[in-house]
Amino acid sequence: MHPMQRAFLKTPIGYIEVTGSANGIRTLAFLDFRVRPQNVPSGLRPCVNQLEDYFHGKLRSFDLKLDLKGSAFQLMVWNELIQIPYGLTISYIELAQRIGNIKAFRAVGGANSHNPISIIVPCHRVIGYNGRLVGYRGGLKRKKWLLEHEHAFAQRDLFYGKL
């Protein structure tokens, strides 16, 4: 068994705690309190570096080993979330279609809400069918910020021809 490591990161939308081991990133969670960031364990340094680049608008997709733990259905949903392009959103119904079961949109919402690795597994990119922001473990203010952040940099990339 690999020892679990922990790192904290201060971001524009609050503090984040990342955990992982040699098997990969296990969790990324928002904290509703301040922490004193400590030295980042070497195993989590690539994750912290990529998150910093993401928040500075320099990174569009993460290249990290993930250690997702969940049911077969949850894993299927989470793996589909990773396929949603930076700067775009889809509805829960569309996500259910993508996994091959349009009637499972409520179950998809449940799996989405239990995503243990926010941002990297971009559950914030799933919105209500009517375009409303609904359900985000980190809070709707953070979801709105993440979507606006990604949209702004995606638009800039389109304007300057970087995509």
Task: Write the pLDDT tens digit of every residue in 117-151.
Answer: 999 999 999 998 888 887 788 888 999 999 999 99
Task: Write the pLDDT tens digit of every residue in 70-126.
Answer: 999 999 999 999 999 999 999 999 999 999 998 888 899 999 999 999 999 999 999
Q: Poorest-confidence range of 3-7, 46-50, 137-141, 155-159?
A: 155-159
**CATH fold group of domain 72-160:** Arc Repressor Mutant, subunit A (1.10.10)
Give the CA-trace dihedral at 78, 84, 89, 94, to 10 degrees: -70
Distance CA 113, CA 124 (A): 10
Annotated catalytic residue, options 123, 126, 146, 147: 123
Residues 135 and 113: beta-carbon distance below 8 Å = yes
The model's confidence at residue 3, banded by pLDDT at 50, 70 and 90, is confident
H or E segment to which residue 28 belongs:
strand 24-31
* Catalytic residue status for 123: yes
Residues 153 and 87: beta-carbon distance below 8 Å = yes
pLDDT at 161: 65
pTM tops 0.85, yes or no: yes
Domain ranges of the chain: 5-55, 72-160
Distance CA 52, CA 56 (A): 6
